[in-house]
A and B are shown apart, each in its own frame.
Chain A
Amino acid sequence: MAEVSATVSWLMKFDINAIVKSKEAFRLRLAALPVAEKLRLLDAMRERAVTIRGANPTEPRGVREEPSRYGSQRREADE
């Protein structure tokens, strides 16, 4: 058990600041990819979403999200 925790602490650093920084750097690297490459990633993500949806017949087929209300000014009460 001691060996396991030694390995884990060697592999992973639970420094939240380092984790946040590394995530930010990864997001920036992704954002800097050529547009065509990013669009291929969108294709791949959609492909995966469709596969996951198809694999679970008990779930409704159509994934729904709150539709955009483009052009509508939100009232204070909505915020």
Chain B
Amino acid sequence: MNIQGVFEMLNRMEADGLISRYAIGGAVAATFYLEPVSTLDVDVFIAFKAQPESIIISPHQIFDYLQKFGCKMEGEHVVISGWPVQFLPPTGPLIEEALARAVEVDIEGIPARVFTAEYLAAIALQTGRAKDKARLLQFIEANALDSSRFEEIVNRRGLGRQWQKFQQQFLGS
């Protein structure tokens, strides 16, 4: 079990042209900025290369590719290096932007692309489950956000009301 093996595989998929860009999201990405928290899986957001002959690309291409490396399917996950990995397409403009602006971090010689703290916080605000709100609070309490950058994303992506409500509910402002 080695999460760095997941990053190596993602880099290989990108180098082989299967995906045009990836970025780690969810709890694993949050670990880059906050204290580590136990998580069940790795959320990987991917952009596909545009192919003229087909608009929709089947996820089977990814699974077929990964099976060659001995990866197995487990529900909606593919198990890579002992970690269930969920591949997710960007489902809206916020995530598309987060993917485009994700940053590369060197982990002992292995590059890994992750969402920035500000995008992770904005996505948590938008997703809005209890655990997402808790994560957003963690970012704030740990002083891990560039607040002007975060608020610029929030306002541009129409999350102003949610942010106001969150502040009233949890920050007493």
- A residues in contact (CB < 8 Å) with B: 24, 27-28, 30-31, 35-36, 38-39, 41-43, 45-47, 49-50, 62-63, 65-66, 68-74, 78-79
Contacts and interface: CB of A to CB of B under 8 A. Distances in A.
Contacts of A69: 127
Contacts of B3: 39, 42-43
Nearest to B42: A42
Nearest to A24: B141
Interface string B75-117: 1000000110000101110110000000001011000000000
Nearest to B161: A76
Given A66-B129, A70-B123, A35 B4 contact: no
B126 interface: yes
Contacts of B94: 71
A28 B83 CA distance: 26
B154 to A, nearest CB: 13
A27 B35 contact: yes
A79 B33 CA distance: 27
Contact of A30 (B4, B35, B90, B165): B35
Interface string B16-58: 0000000001101001111110111001000000000000000
B142 interface: yes
Contact of A73 (B35, B75, B126): B126
A45 to B, nearest CB: 4
Interface residues of B, number: 42
13 contacts: A35-B31, A35-B107, A38-B35, A38-B36, A46-B82, A46-B83, A68-B129, A69-B127, A70-B126, A71-B91, A71-B92, A71-B94, A72-B92
B108 A47 contact: no
Given A35-B105, A73-B126, A63 B92 contact: no
B92 A31 contact: no
Interface in B119-168: 123, 126-129, 132, 141-142, 144, 158, 162, 165
Contacts of B171: none
Given A31-B34, A36-B108, A70-B92, A42 B28 contact: yes
A71 to B, nearest CB: 3
Nearest to B92: A71
B1 A43 contact: yes
A74 B124 CA distance: 11
